[in-house]
Amino acid sequence: MNEIIRNIKTRRSVRKFSAKPVEDNILNEIITAGLYAPSAMNTQLWQITVIKNEDMLVRLQKAVAKALDRPDYHRFYNCPVFIIVTVPEDYRHGAVDTACVLQNMFLAAHSLGVGSVWINQLRDCYDNREVRELLTEAGIPENHICFGCAAIGYPDCELPSDRENKGVVKFF
């Protein structure tokens, strides 16, 4: 098995992170991998917003918890880096382009020994007033919407070794 295939097959979602910061050069590699994702007609309309500021992460956690009426909502699994991918609201390929960006980053992170997991909750509350104010403060354009985010950091857990694949594959 080549290294790329091995990396794809061994990546797992990580939901427990160590406090160790992700070094800038490693983080840049991960973000750059996201920028190399395919996009419909090569539009590359995404914005990748990287949040490491603890105060902002806690305020975002609280705003999401309130917006979704989930008082116990976690601080994005206490990840040291939270990445928000946004796209213009009138761009019809935004969801799929976002998924390509996130998966590129997940795989790049895994290849560098860094853990990651998709975080979906902003999708359901990005236009809540308090959440939107924080997104604006973080530099996200008002006309951008969010289909997915990533929690990134060094794993503080073992990755499950294998998984059952339930998707259907047919050859004709």
Ligand X SMILES: Cc1cc2nc3c(=O)[nH]c(=O)nc-3n(C[C@H](O)[C@H](O)[C@H](O)COP(=O)(O)O)c2cc1C
- Of 17-25, 44-52, 57-65, 115-123, the window that binds ligand X (rule: CB under 6 A) is 115-123
Buried b (16+ CB within 10 A) or exposed e, 125-163: bbebeebbebbeebebeeebbbbbbbbbbbbeeeeeeee
Q: Does 114 bind ligand X (CB under 6 A)?
A: no
Q: Quick one: 13 or 43, whose CB is closer to ligand X?
A: 13
Q: By CB under 6 A, is residue 120 in contact with ligand X?
A: yes
Shortest distance in whole angstroms from residue 29 CB to ligand X: 20
- Least Cβ distance, residue 147 to ligand X (angstroms): 8
Axis crossing angle, helix 129-137 with helix 54-67, rounded to the nearest 10: 160
Residue whose entry in the numeric block shows the structure tokens 């956690």: 61
Between CA 33 and CA 125 the distance in angstroms is 27
Is residue 63 helix, strand or coil? helix
Structure tokens at 88: 């213009």
Rule CB under 6 A: choose which of 27, 119, 150, 152 binds ligand X.
119
CB of 143 to ligand X, least distance (A): 22
Q: Is 15 in the site for ligand X (CB under 6 A)?
A: yes
Per CB under 6 A, 145 contacts ligand X: no
Task: Point out which residues bind ligand X (CB under 6 A).
Answer: 12-13, 15, 117-121, 163
